[in-house]
Structure 1
């Protein structure tokens, strides 16, 4: 009996040891698993931090590129801005007036002796050479939109004479046209002036006598050569009206007389 009890006691001890060993093994596995999980978390955090750094660099790079973009756009837009000096060989006949007045259409029609409409506003300069019987006339049209008007005066000293074009039917803008015309005539009190009261074919157009009064042409100086023509360009491709041909002949005469 005693031997039997001893055997049972040993069996219990062995079972306890097995259970204890099993518990240690389980705890070891839990600890190892925890360590591995901790390492994995660390690796994941490292990856996230590295990703954030990369994203931060990309964002900074994008911001830098975006910051530089307006400068690129700004530099590319300078192609439409007026340069300091226009391309020229000799003194030229200046053609000025508000945007939409019809400056380009008049120039092209005079050059071709046929009506040539132009719908696109001039951005910057439009240089046109027109042949006459005796010589060649060089015209320089400068854009009439607001950004270009501030540079008109600086070219007066380079002009043989000034052609100023107004839209006879655009009554609301005649005071604005008058303001700029008088600024030009005050800046150069002797430059010959030819005014085109354009678009006379429109029903709302002012007669040239009304244009003379609206622009205050009697105030531009008594010592100046001044001429006013009522002009129009009607059917595209047709011969220019006689008034435009007369104006062309007069301009050639005035240009030839300038020393």
Structure 2
């Protein structure tokens, strides 16, 4: 009798056990779902961070591009470049011509003379670059013409109307000094009395020829007895620093020669 009752009680407990097992499985299932959701949230967060970094990088690249464009535009504005030269040189207000091979440092020298401070130029002059320099007594108008092959055809055209010639050479570029000499002598050969001021530039470089070497390499002793010839060693080093005394002396001399030629 007692055994029968015990069996009956055990039988009654079975549904409860099944119910408890069902609850346990459901709880485990919920944990799995929550775990899966948690992983998905972590992945989504990682994706969001990656998108944020990519967006930040993109904005930085755009900012760099804008800064580069602004710098390039500023450089062009500083150079006052005229991409298309006038058909004829101006009759009035004769200019001081600044010529020389490409890479000699003409623009850097010219802007440094104008500002009385070292002003580097990294962009080559593609065309014409007009700069006015004021002194205590007068205003000088300089015209630089690009030194690369396409622009050399304009050199002689403007030389006939120039007050004087400033010719810039790279003292450290030994291989191109013969080329510079050839073009210089071709230019001055058309005008036997035009004053000549030569800037032996980049004197700060270790490989630079000294003044006496430049004088010989350019054969300046052969430019004519009736011509005023001057040779200055120049350098444009630390940006923003005051120009060397030699460049100040050269500027004063150019102003004096220009006044005499007008």
TM-score by length of 1: 0.68
1:157 deviates by 1.6
1:145 aligns with 2:148: yes
Aligned to 1:194: 197
Aligned to 1:233: 236
Give runs of aligned pairs for residues 7-46 of structure 1, distance below 5 A.
none
State the Cα RMSD in Å.
1.4
Give runs of aligned pairs for residues 93-112 of structure 1, distance below 5 A.
93-112=96-115
Task: Name structure 1 gaps, 5 residues minimum.
Answer: 1-78
* Structure 1 stretches of 4+ moved >3 Å: 79-83, 86-89
1:83 deviates by 3.9
* Counterpart secondary structure, 1:209: helix
- 2-structure distance, mates of 1:237, 1:88: 36
Asked whether the equivalents of residues 178 and 214 of structure 1 are also in contact (C-alpha less than 8 Å), the reply is yes
Between structure 1 and structure 2, the one with the greater Rg is 1
Aligned to 2:245: 242
Aligned to 1:171: 174
- 1-structure distance, mates of 2:118, 2:234: 11
CA deviation profile, 1:27-81 (whole Å, cap 9, x unmatched): xxxxxxxxxxxxxxxxxxxxxxxxxxxxxxxxxxxxxxxxxxxxxxxxxxxx835
Task: Name structure 2 gaps, 5 residues minimum.
Answer: 1-81
Which of 209, 213, 224 is the matching residue for 2:212? 209
Aligned to 1:253: 256
Aligned to 2:13: none
1:89 deviates by 5.0
- 1-structure distance, mates of 2:130, 2:216: 31
Count of aligned pairs: 181
